[in-house]
Amino acid sequence: MNWHLLCKLLGMLSLLVGMAMLMSLPWAFPLLGATNVVEYRGIWGIGGGTLTSLLLGFSLYWVGRGDRGAVLHKEALAVVGLGWLLAGILGALPYLLAGVMVAPDQPMTVVDAFFESVSGFTTTGASVLTDLEDRRMIPKSIMFWRCFTQWLGGMGIIVLFIALLGHLGMGGKALMHREVTGPINESVMPRVRETALFMWQIYMGLSGLLLVTLLLEGMTLYDASCHTFTTISTGGFSTHSTSVSYFQSPVIEMTMIVFMILASTNFTLFYVMLHGQHLQRKARKGSWWGTILRDTEWRAFVCILLLATLALTINLLITQQYDSLASALRHAGFLTVSIMTTTGLGTEDFSEWSEFARGLFLLLMFIGGCAGSTAGGIKVVRFLLFFKIIRLEIEKAFRPKVVRALRLGGENVPDALRHDVVVYFSLILFLFVSSWMLLNTIEPDTLWQNARADRKAEKLLDCASAVAATLNNIGPGLGVLGPTSNFSGFSQQGKFLLTLLMLLGRLELFAILVLFFPTFWRNQ
């Protein structure tokens, strides 16, 4: 392990996080809406967090200033894994220094702040805050930082890191491979930095378009900015405790549906749309939109959304949850898209819906969006490959001499990728079951005994949904963790476990798991 190079890169990452904090500072002043003295605590929170990040960044950079070595595979894993941990720690400082309250007379603990920060950067959207509108508990500038962390983490802080630096060379490719989600990471440009720049340009373009649209639809600049950050990043933090239902606007909801789907689409397809040409490996005759419609993963993604929305709409009408088809379709469509894209924004408290609806949402949590997007979850392409692998193995049982290649979208899938998909599913299953049982064991029954009489309190199912929601970077769970509730009632050790699951889910396991292996840190 090249420790000097590692310190240098982590130092630069700390500097990036520190500079990003300054974007939230203006909201602590009256010109942008600070209304009372309590909100000025945001100045200390943002200012102190920025100063600490910059001092740490300069110190780490000074330690590794003379190293010009290449970023190899091991260093790339370490930078990504430790970089996200470091970002989570630094991002927690504004909460602690501003004296943010979880509830009246209940200040944030270190674990609470780390949970909230990691939930932001990983675009999970799980929260421990109980009253988002109460400026006595959380200053406006800190709330803005909370949403802005999701925007930074949506495309990836490491991808931004690569885009801003021009001297990483092949090391940038190794970092990019570990940062971009999905089993198939394509470079749309000859150089990895150009690819990173292109992805961030698209990301910022979508963000700007959504911001203008929400402003035209009646949101304030503050609400529009924060909901742009959380929608495009498929994060789910809101400025209101009732989430999107606060606005009571079908137009705003439809706008968010469109942009959640766009953000969950493989960003490689945007290259095809903008340049009117195909990737070299997908070169075929036809229009750019024909290429997009032929993309196997995107078609499957849209089909799952449509079928799930239809099934949920019918169920809501049968169970008389809504009286009209329009209302049932409106809420079914929004929540299906929100859950499957791992955004987690809400228009209704679905924890009160039927068992079928809740079970459907639990399944959608694991599917997620497309590879190379801002969405979490296992990814649609992995499910497509997994089912094809199962089909081939079943056929092999009664036709052992038949050899068939694994193909997706008309192309052969390498054996290494086939192996990675099986291993990934196995690890996800093991982590889900073990974390579920551990969380169910360490959490006291108090939270469920004190649940409201009108809320379905089932500890076993709620713990399962908590693990699924954090491991797949969704945010809200079921029951006491529904879209109008939060994770504040969980124990400190339970929150720490869920925080670790958020990081594992966002980095797709390996960049975090390797940090626990002593052999990873040895030179040989």
pLDDT per position as a tens digit, 130-153: 888 887 788 889 999 999 999 999
**Residue 435 placed within a domain:** no
In contact, 204 and 163? CB cutoff 8 Å: no
Same domain, 170 and 280: no
Of 29-33, 162-166, 257-261, 270-274, which has the strongest mean pLDDT?
257-261
Please say if the pLDDT value at position 270 is more than 80.
yes
pTM for this one?
0.90
10/159 same-domain check: yes
Segment of 26-30, 99-103, 304-308 carrying the highest mean pLDDT: 304-308
Instruction: Looking at the structure, tell me whether residues 304 and 164 fall in a common domain.
Output: no
Residues 171 and 275 in one domain: no
Q: Does 93 have pLDDT greater than 70?
A: yes
Percentage of the chain beyond pLDDT 90 is: 49
408-417: long-range contacts, CB 8 A cutoff, minimum separation 24: 408/296, 408/381, 408/384, 409/282, 409/294, 409/295, 409/296, 409/297, 411/281, 413/385, 417/183, 417/184, 417/385
Inside any domain, residue 503: no
Identify whether residues 134 and 20 lie together within a single domain: yes
Quote the pLDDT of residue 521. Answer: 81
What pLDDT, on a 0 to 100 scale, did the predictor assign at position 230? 95
The conformation of residue 450, written as its DSSP 8-state character, comes to T
Domain end position, chosen among 300, 322, 338: 338
Q: Is residue 295 domain-resident?
A: yes
38 in the same domain as 135? yes
Q: Does a structural domain hold residue 49?
A: yes
What average pLDDT does range 515-524 have in this prediction? 79
Domain presence at residue 164: yes
The verdict on residue 223 lying in a domain is: no
Instruction: State how far the alpha carbon of 485 is from the alpha carbons of 98, 129, 255, 318, in Å.
Output: 23, 9, 24, 26
Residue 283: pLDDT band (50, 70, 90) is very low
**Which residues face 407 on adjacent strands?**
412
Q: What is d(CA 240, CA 256) in angstroms, rounded to the nearest whole number?
A: 16
Of 202, 250, 226, whose CA–CA distance to 148 is shortest?
A: 226
Residue 37's Cβ-count burial label (10 Å; 0-12, 13-18, 19+) is exposed
pLDDT of 184 > 70? The answer is no
Nearest alpha carbon to residue 432 among 465, 457, 462: 465
pLDDT at 282: 45
The reply to whether 284 and 135 lie within a common domain is: no
CB 162 within 8 A of CB 194: no
Tell me if 498 sits within 8 A of 439, measured CB to CB.
yes
Residue pLDDT, tens place only, 33-79: 556 666 778 888 999 999 999 999 999 999 888 777 677 778 888 88
Per-residue pLDDT, 176: 63
Query: Is the pLDDT score of 245 beyond 80?
Result: yes
Same domain, 34 and 141: yes
Domain end among 158, 179, 200: 179
Task: Give the Å distances, CA to CA, from 242 to 100, 141, 344, 378, 482.
Answer: 20, 20, 12, 28, 11
Same domain, 161 and 15: yes
Q: Distance between CA atoms of 223 and 140, rounded to whole angstroms?
A: 11
Q: Which of 99-108, 113-122, 309-318 has the lowest mean pLDDT?
A: 99-108
**pLDDT tier for residue 278 given thresholds of 50, 70 and 90:** very low
- Residue 362 in any domain: the answer is no
> Do 7 and 146 sit in the same domain of this protein?
yes
pLDDT value, residue 163: 65
What average pLDDT does this structure show over 83-95?
95
Q: How far apart are CA 153 and CA 472, in angstroms?
A: 14
Phi and psi based region of residue 475 (left: phi greater than 0; alpha: psi -120 to 50; beta: remaining): left
22 and 120 together in one domain: yes
Q: Which is more confident, 17 or 170? A: 17
Q: What are phi and psi of 106, to 5 degrees?
A: -135, 90
pLDDT value, residue 380: 93
Give the β-pairing of 411-412 and 407-408. Answer: antiparallel
Mean pLDDT, the chain, whole residue set: 85
pLDDT > 70? residue 187: no
Q: Can you give the residue range of the structural domain that contains 171?
A: 3-179
pLDDT tens profile 428-457? 999 999 999 999 999 888 777 776 554 555
- Select from 179, 198, 233 the last residue of a domain: 179
The separation between CA 499 and the C-alpha centre of its own chain, rounded to angstroms, equals 13
**Number of domains within the chain:** 2
Answer yes or no: is pLDDT of 496 > 80: yes
Is 311 inside a domain boundary?
yes
| Range with lowest mean pLDDT among 48-62, 284-298, 346-360, 472-486 | 284-298
